[in-house]
Amino acid sequence: MDTEHIALVRRSHALFAPRADAVGADFYRHLFELDPQARALFTGDMQAQARKLMEMIGAVVSLLDQPERLMASCRALGARHAGYGVQESHYDDVGTALLKTLHAGLGDAYTEDVEDAWAMVYGEMAEHMIAGAQAGGP
């Protein structure tokens, strides 16, 4: 990922981060519309879950220029998610839900370049999370 992509992701993240609770709730609404069966993976408070998601996104954004740390973090996250029952097939719907959420949340600031940058970030994240799940850890 180059510095331009990192800058696009960071600038767009700064636009939606102040509305983290609403953005997180929108993400799960989109995810459950795409995959209603995924709802069964979540047994706790969905507001708290949405906050955790947004915190995790913030952590990822902060590590974009530290690829080794980001990769290790994603591998560990993938191993944890496998323990929750997340399957490799879920990652496509999560990516789609993320981009739908960003499109709705960013409005006119959601450009093709922003979409490409976030898709790249998510693709790399998902790749390392799946590898972590398959390996059972970092």
* Burial class of 18 by CB neighbour count within 10 A (0 to 12, 13 to 18, 19+): exposed
pLDDT at 1: 79
pTM here? 0.93
**Contact (Cβ atoms closer than 8 angstroms) between residue 79 and residue 138:** yes
pLDDT at 136: 74
Identify the pLDDT of residue 138.
53
Q: ∠ at Cα 56 (82, 105), nearest 5°?
A: 115
pLDDT at 91: 96
Cβ within 8 Å of residue 76, ≥6 positions away: 132, 137, 138
- pLDDT for res 137: 53
CA dihedral 92, 53, 81, 29 (to 10 degrees): -50
CA 132 – CA 49 distance, rounded (Å): 21
pLDDT at 102: 97
Which parts of the chain sit beneath pLDDT 70? Answer: 137-138
The pLDDT value recorded for residue 94 is 97
Give Cβ neighbours of residue 53 (< 8 Å, ≥ 6 apart).
24, 27, 28
Domain spanning 3-135 has what CATH number? 1.10.490.10
What is the token pair recorded at 25?
Answer: 């709730």
Helices 3-16, 112-135: crossing angle, 10 deg rounding: 100
